[in-house]
Amino acid sequence: MTVDGRVLLAPMAGITDVVFRRLCRRFGAAVVYSEFLSSDGLLFNTMSQEHKLGLAEDEHPVAYQLFGARVQTFRAAARMLAAYKPDLIDLNFGCPVRKVVGKNGGASVLRDLDLLGDIVRETVEAVPLPVTIKMRAGWDAQALVYLEAADRSIEAGAAAITLHARTRQDGAWGPKYAGPAKWEYIRDLKQHESRVPIIGNGDVVSPESARAMLDETGCDAIMVGRAAVGRPWIFAEINHYLETGKLLPEPPPADVLAVAWHHIGEKIRVTPEPAPVVVRSMRKVMAAYIKGWPGSHELRNRLMQIEGPDEIRTLFAKFLATHPESTRCDGDGWLDRYLPLDRDWLPKTQALVA
C-alpha cells in the first residue's frame, strides 16, 4: 500500500473521529486512523461504538484500529470492520491506559508474545486487507521486546509496524510521559527489519522534529498524534518542510479560529446528540486551538465553560475585535485559501505503509 506523503495521523481515543480525520486528510495526512475499537465490544455489542464506524469518501486511505486480548474475538470483529471498506486494519499493542491494560489489552499484550502472534494471525486470516500493528517498545525498560514482537507479528502476516518509542511504564501522553521518546528504538527496529515498512511515533511535534526522526532512524514514515490536536495543519507544515526545507508561516488567529469553527460545526452536523452535548464534549479541543496565544487566557477560560455553538461564535468574534491586527478571513475560507496557496507542499514523495 503506497501513499502520497510520509506523515500519518495517529489513532487517539475521543479525538480521531470522522470529522477530525477528514480535516487532517484535507491538510495532507497520508493515512488517518480511527479511534480505538474493542474486539469484544464489536462482537458482543457491549460497548457503544457505532458512532466510531462511519467512514467518509474523502478520508481514504483510512484505517480502523482494533484492540483486545481474546484471540477468538478478532476474526469476527475484523470481518465486521472490513464490511465498512477501510483501507487497512491496525492492531493496538501500545495503549498504556489502565482500563485497557487491566483487561490484558493494548500494551499488556507485549507481556505475552504468543498471544500477540495469535491475534495478528487470526486477524490476517480473517480479512483480505493489510493488517498492521502499532506497539510500544515493551512493558518497561527491563522488558524491551519490540524486536521480537516485530518478528512475531511479521511471521504472522503483519504488513507494517508502527513503534511508539516508549514503554508502557513511560506513561500515557504529553505531560504525563516519564521522559522523551527514545528514537534509538525505532532506529534499531529499522536496522533489524527490512521485510515491512517501519513507521516511527513519539515526540514528532513540528516540521523540524519530523525531519529529525526520519534522518535519525531511517524509518519509512512517521506518525503524529497529540501535536495535531488544535493544529491539524501540522501535516501541511511537515509536508512542505520535508519537500522544500522551508517553514510555512504561522496561520493568523482569524484563520485558526475559522478552522476551529469549521471543526465544531461539522462535529455538530454529524453527531446525533444535541448541540450542547457535543459542544461540552469539545471544550478541550476548542481550547487546544488557541493554546499558547498571548492574551488568550480569558478566551480559554470561557471556552471551558461554553454550552452552545452561538457562545463559541460570540467568543471568537469578541476576541478578534480586540485584536485588530489579526488577518480576517470569511467563514471557512482559510480551509480553501490556505490549501491552494500551498499546493507546493502537497507531497511528491510516496511512502510504503503496508
Q: pLDDT tens digits for 36-64?
A: 999 998 988 765 667 678 899 999 999 99
Question: What is d(CA 249, CA 244) in angstroms, rounded to the nearest whole number?
Answer: 14
Give the pLDDT confidence score for residue 332 in this predicted structure. Answer: 46
Question: What is d(CA 258, CA 232) in angstroms, rounded to the nearest whole number?
Answer: 12
Helices 146-155 and 183-192, packing angle to 10 deg: 40
Of residues 24, 95, 219, 329, which has the active-site annotation?
Answer: 95
Q: pLDDT tens digits for 242-289?
A: 988 999 888 878 778 888 888 999 999 998 889 999 999 999 999 999
Closest by CA to 37, choosing from 123, 160, 162, is 123
Give the pLDDT confidence score for residue 209 in this predicted structure. Answer: 98
Give the pLDDT confidence score for residue 78 in this predicted structure. Answer: 95
- Domain-wise residue ranges, the chain: 2-247, 253-326
Spatial CB neighbours of 294, under 8 Å, sequence gap ≥ 6 = none
Q: Are 79 and 127 in contact (CB under 8 A)?
A: yes
Question: What is d(CA 47, CA 66) in angstroms, rounded to the nearest whole number?
Answer: 13
Spatial CB neighbours of 12, under 8 Å, sequence gap ≥ 6 = 35, 225, 226, 229
Q: What is the CATH number of domain 2-247?
A: 3.20.20.70
CA 25 to mean position of chain CA atoms: 11
90-106 mean pLDDT: 87
pLDDT at 342 over 50: no
Question: What is d(CA 245, CA 96) in angstroms, rounded to the nearest whole number?
Answer: 35
Percent of the chain residues past pLDDT 70, beyond the cut: 90
299-307 mean pLDDT: 87
- Residue 219 appears among annotated catalytic residues: no
Spatial CB neighbours of 255, under 8 Å, sequence gap ≥ 6 = 327, 329, 334, 338
β-pair type (350-352, 2-4): antiparallel
Question: What is d(CA 16, CA 34) in angstroms, rounded to the nearest whole number?
Answer: 6
User: For every residue of 330-348, which 3-state class applies, written as one string?
Assistant: CCCHHHHHHHHHCHHHCCC
* DSSP-assigned beta bridge partners for residue 92: 134
**Single pTM value for the model:** 0.91
